[in-house]
Each structure stands twice: as C-alpha cells, then as structure tokens.
Amino acid sequence: MAEPLLLALDQGTTSTRAILFDAEGHALAEAGRPLQQLYPHDGWVEHDAEEIYQACVAVLREAVETAGRRLEEVAAIGITNQRETVVIWDKATGKPIHKAVVWQDRRTAEACERLRGEGREARVTEITGLLLDPYFSGTKIAWLLDQVAGARAAAKAGELLAGTIDAWVIWKLTGGRVHATDATNASRTLLFDIRRQEWSQEMGDMLGAPLNILPQVLDCAGDFGETDAAILGRAIPIRGVAGDQQAALMGQGCIAPGEMKATYGTGCFMLINTGETAPVSQARLLTTVAARVEGRTTYALEGAIFIAGAAIQWLGEELSVQGGPQAAERLAASAREDHGVVLVPAFTGLGAPWWDANARGAIFGLTRDAGLAEISQAAFDACALQTRDLIEAMRADAPQAFKGAVEMRIDGGMSRSAWFAQRLADLTGVSVSRATYQETTALGAALFAGLGAGIYKSLEEAAGSRPNTEGYAPAMDERRREAAYARWLDAVARVRT
C-alpha cells in the first residue's frame, strides 16, 4: 500500500495555504493564495469569509495536483487558522451576515473598557485565562449581533451560527453537516471555561454572546467529519484542528512542560508549555489550551505581539524600502552601531504584557545622521525587544522553566533570516533554535490529523516529526543589551501616556 499522506490547510491572516506532507513530516507540495485585507475604519480590520473559503478549496486541490498524487492517498486533512477572527453566518443559506472581524480589529475596545471599569476582568481571567481585550472573539460576536439588523433576533431563533475561521471552513467543507471547533480555538473566544472545558454561560451572559450559535468543542485530534465529495472530488476525513499558534507549538515538538516557541508572522506569538497546570498569570500573559488529545488537556502561557513581520512590511509600503524583507534586512544590517533609534510599532495598540489598545506607534531617538538603515534596524529590533518583554513576563510567571538552559524555538516568515535569529538571541539573551523548515504551523495541523487518523500512535510519536534546527547563542555584550532594553522600555512608556 502507498504510504498515507496528510493534507494541511493553513488559513492565516494574509494568506491561505495548503501543504501536502508524508507521514515523516516532509513537505511534498504546497499551494497558496493571498488574502485581501479590508480596513473600513481606523482600527478596524476585516476579511471576506467567502473569499477565504474559496481559497481553501482552491489550494487544497492545487497542493495534491502539484504533488502529482491522487486524493485517494490523502488519509486526512488537518486545519489550522488565525484564531480570534470570527464569522457569523445564516444556517439556511450559508451566507455570512457581515465580513469576518479579524483578530487585529479594535472596534470593541470601548466595550472591553466598560467591562473592565465594572471590575469584571478578574472573573474573566479566572474562567477563560484571558484578559478583556478586543483581540478576542467574544466581544466581536456581540458587536456583530448588535450592529447587523435583525441578527440578535435571528440568533435567538437558532437561525445563525458563529465560529472562528476553522469552524466556518469545517462547516463549508462538510456541506453544512458539522459545526465544530477544537479546544485551542475555543480557548481564544472569551466564552470558554478552560478548566471545565466547556462553553461558559456566565461569560456568554456577560458579553451578550448566545451560546446556542457556537460550535461543538472537540479534541485537536478528533473526528470533524469529512469533506463533501462534490467539493474536492472525494470525501476526505478532517481529523486534526488547532489554532495557528498551538499548531506551531506541536510542529516545533513543544509537548513537554518548559518547552517554548515563538512564531514570527504578521504578529509574534510566544508560548511556553505548562503541562496539565493552568497557571494564573501575574504578568498579564494569557493562560490558554496548548492541546487536547484523548480528553487530556495541556496548557500554555502565551504572549501576543500584534505587530512583528507587519513592521517589516510597513517599511516597504509606507517608507518605500524596495525589494521586500530581504532588502529591508540588508539595510538594517548596515545601520550604525548604537544609533539609539527606537521604533514602537503600536499600529493597532500594544499586546502582552501591556495590553494597551489605545497606544499608537512612534519613532524615538532620531538624529540628523539617522536614516532608513537605522529605522529599518529599529523595526527588526522592535520584534526582538517585544519578545524580551514576553520572556521577562514568562520568567516571572513560570520561574521553574528558566532554571536550566533556556532555548527558544522559532519559526515563521522572519525566522528565515539567520541575521534576525542572531539579533533575537543578542537582544533577548536567550539561545535561539531556528527550524530549518519554517512552516511548522501547517506541519502541526498535519501531525494532529495524523494522530486523529491513527497514523501516529501517540502524541510523542507525532511530535517526533518536528524539523531539524539551527542554533544561535547570544553574542552581544550584556551592557549593550541592557542599554537597548532600557531605551525600549522608556519608549513604550512614552507611547502609553
């Protein structure tokens, strides 16, 4: 018999991709489509959910065709997705009632501030592990139901369904037969009790988000139905689902307590595995579900940086640095040492550990001889210095994980740069392990699907397919490192006043 293949669908913020893997975790072919970003108002970010679904179908087909393989060889599909982006659609027609509201969107900041002012945040954190921030899905659902004419009444009547992108895509791929999500995506909604592992009526009532429109919550490696045969030409089981950062945690093999990874895409998301303990962060990190397999839940502390790779994209789009990220990197590497320029890329507010939705970006330390090279380096350094913020917060919340040798596994677009990997080690003071295959998010989804399909017999066996890595040790003088971090903290304080 031909070896079973695993097809990963990675629906991200800026693109939709499918990658076909063999059982050893080797990529055989991939296909991708860019995703249009919609900015109807300041701080608002939307996607076209129908565009997302059509792209999903197209890339799934193309990846298999590009590999020259038959659909019959695909044992299962694994789905990973931008987690907090939410869609509400009509159950009868399958049509969204509004554009998808993206995780970066800040339109519900006022609602979050109101609830915080009422003293609700401590209870929210106790139940969900999260903070009151417009980043998460729950307040987005409430906004859509209140702003779209007739939506709240339709939801009460059971005519609407809501979910994160994975739930939307699963419902569409299965021909409307399955309305389901996994525990990792559920844990990012502000509506899920992460310890009881069920939707919270208390949170639904608090936010104004009815639970009857939400999907069933399954394990990451589970039975999410199968695709409608008419869509891809054959019914294919969907056996793995995880939010993008938890999928990357799996793809990096971080399944033991103390193991951590950082993924550098549009934003940066850093997670440290805390095992079966769900700690309450004192440093304003998030407690989230790392994975749920065979009913066993493991947790992670997470820090979210809203703008990472997007800062490099901004250099090209707004400052006219031509030639893409590689050109920006070459420019950054040419900057004068100790130039003192600091960029705080708070374009949509600041994430962990600050959680300041009202902060906005700024550049400090400009002198007459500072130019694009120094600003470019400051953009890369901002990613590293924000990572340092997260490391310090994790060190405070989980000191036991930092007693021995500390290794941060990195992946995502920015990790393709050896120069950035070294810069990251230098400015954080932590050893960096760079995956030689960066698409660990898609790989994690495939590994969960392989586990759900019985190709792997255990979580440990599945995680053994993680990619090889290259190591980078800190080389910067400690005095320079600490001076750079002090300048960064001063700049952050200024944009928050």
CA atoms of 325 and 419, how far apart (whole Å): 12
Distances (CA, A) of 437 to 79, 186, 316, 465, 489: 19, 28, 25, 11, 33
Q: Which two tokens stand for residue 287?
A: 């407690």
Q: Which two tokens stand for residue 125?
A: 């954190």
For residues 173 and 231, is the Cβ–Cβ distance under 8 A? yes
Quote the DSSP letter at residue 41.
S
Q: Which two tokens stand for residue 438?
A: 């960066």
CA atoms of 240 and 47, how far apart (whole Å): 24
Distances (CA, A) of 160 to 96, 141, 168: 9, 11, 12
CA atoms of 410 and 393, how far apart (whole Å): 18
Spatial CA neighbour of 256 closest among 197, 299, 304, 194: 299
Handedness of CA 447, 453, 456, 458 (dihedral sign): positive
Asked if omega into 399 is within 30° of 0 (cis), the reply is: no
Residues 6+ away with beta carbon under 8 Å from 460: 255
State how far Cα 111 lies from the chain centre.
23
State how far Cα 434 lies from the chain centre.
18
pLDDT tens for 314-329 read 999 999 898 888 999 9
CA atoms of 191 and 202, how far apart (whole Å): 8
Percent of the chain exceeding pLDDT 70 equals 99
Contacts 24+ apart (CB under 8 A), 176-179: 176/91, 176/94, 177/225, 177/228, 178/224, 178/225, 178/238, 179/215, 179/216
For residues 155 and 173, is the Cβ–Cβ distance under 8 A? no
CA atoms of 312 and 329, how far apart (whole Å): 9
pLDDT at 2: 67
Q: Is 177 exposed, middle or buried (0-12, 13-18, 19+ CB in 10 A)?
A: exposed
pLDDT at 171: 98
Domains of the chain by start residue, with CATH: 5-244 (3.30.420.40)
Handedness of CA 351, 355, 361, 367 (dihedral sign): negative
Residues 6+ away with beta carbon under 8 Å from 396: 282, 283
Quote the DSSP letter at residue 399.
G
Strands (E), 294-430: 296-305, 342-344, 362-364, 407-411
DSSP 103-146: TT--TTHHHHHHHHHTT-HHHHHHHHS--S-TTSHHHHHHHHHH
Strands (E), 257-347: 260-264, 268-275, 286-293, 296-305, 342-344
CA atoms of 110 and 222, how far apart (whole Å): 38
Q: Provide the edge-to-edge strand list for the sheet that holds 431-435.
A: 286-293, 296-305, 268-275, 260-264, 407-411, 431-435, 469-472
Spatial CA neighbour of 383 closest among 267, 302, 260, 245: 267
Q: Which residue's entry shows tokens 């589970």?
A: 222
Strands (E), 324-453: 342-344, 362-364, 407-411, 431-435
CA atoms of 63 and 8, how far apart (whole Å): 10
Crossing angle of helices 109-117 and 137-147, rounded to 10°: 110
For residues 202 and 165, is the Cβ–Cβ distance under 8 A? no
Q: What is the residue-level pLDDT of the chain in tens, covering all 497 positions? A: 568 999 999 999 989 999 999 999 999 999 999 999 999 998 899 999 999 999 999 999 999 999 988 888 999 999 999 999 999 999 999 999 999 999 989 999 999 999 999 999 999 999 999 999 898 999 999 999 999 999 999 999 999 999 999 999 999 999 999 999 999 999 999 999 999 999 999 999 999 999 999 999 999 999 999 999 999 899 999 999 999 999 999 999 999 888 999 989 888 989 999 889 898 888 889 999 999 999 999 999 999 898 999 999 999 999 989 888 899 999 999 999 889 999 999 998 898 899 887 899 999 999 999 999 999 999 999 999 999 999 999 988 888 777 777 889 998 889 999 999 999 999 999 999 998 888 899 999 999 999 999 999 999 999 888 888 899 999 999 999 999 999 999 999 999 97
